[in-house]
Structure 1
Amino acid sequence: MKTVPTRAARFTPSFTTLKHLSFAHSTIYAILLTVWIVPGLHPLEFVFGLAHGVGWIVMCVLCIEALRARVISLQLAVAVAVIGAVGPFVGSYEFIRETRRRTLTVANSNQR
């Protein structure tokens, strides 16, 4: 008899992993913009365009799973998944804000 994996058995990325992937996606997007603007680099548009598109899809799937597992907030998931298609820098910025917020929360709880 085949068993269905439970939610705990699924892969849920950590906050840090998602943050690093978001910065990698932003870097790919910055390179895509560069090869689009600089003359002579246009053959690379396909490569980095494909990497950006696939990266965005992967980020969406991972963020949905992380949201379900309550690893990230809805605001962060929306920034990455919705706005990330045309501006992944927003998702990276939201990861920075969320990291700062979590650090302040931990610092405030340690002071009590």
Structure 2
Amino acid sequence: MLTWKRLKWASFTHSTIYLVLLTAWAIPGLHGVEFVFGLLHGLGWFVMCALMLAALKQRIVNIRLATAVAVLGAVGPFIGSAEFVRQERARARTH
């Protein structure tokens, strides 16, 4: 079941995987780790795209958040995670 909270934590998990990938890339000799986390990042991005499309259809997220996660998430999942935080704070201010 899709919820805002689950999608947010999925985005943060994807960002963490990407951070590990960048770290493995920057440290010489971690080719195995780089491969595994590169694969996880790529597959994770496909999953996040599918989840965002479903969440957009169910009106759990808006187009701005779906775009931040699905489009920009391929090269920087931190953008999607940051957008979750930004929108959550905006929601808190309006309620």
Please classify the TM superposition score into its range, dividing by the shorter chain length. Answer: over 0.9
Ranked by relative contact order (alpha carbons within 8 Å, sequence separation 6 or more), the top structure is: 2
State the match for 2:49 in structure 1.
Answer: 60
Q: CA deviation at 1:104?
A: 1.0
Of Structure 1 and Structure 2, the greater helix share is in 2
Residue 93 of structure 2 aligns with an amino acid whose one-letter code is L
State the match for 1:96 in structure 2.
Answer: 85
Q: Give runs of aligned pairs for residues 64-83 of structure 1, distance below 5 A.
A: 64-83=53-72
Indicate the RMSD between aligned Cα atoms, in angstroms.
0.8
> Aligned match of 2:76 in 87, 90, 98?
87
Q: CA deviation at 1:41?
A: 1.0
Q: Give runs of aligned pairs for residues 12-51 of structure 1, distance below 5 A.
A: 13-51=2-40
Give the Cα–Cα distance (whole angstroms) in 2 for the partners of residues 54 and 95 of structure 1: 21
Sequence identity (%): 57
Structure 1 segments of 4 or more deviating over 3 A? none
Q: CA deviation at 1:45?
A: 1.2
Unaligned 5+ runs, structure 1: 1-10, 107-112
Comparing 17-26 with 35-44, greater Cα deviation is found at: 35-44
Task: Tell me the SS of whatever aligns to 2:59.
Answer: coil
Give the Cα–Cα distance (whole angstroms) in 2 for the partners of residues 63 and 54 of structure 1: 14
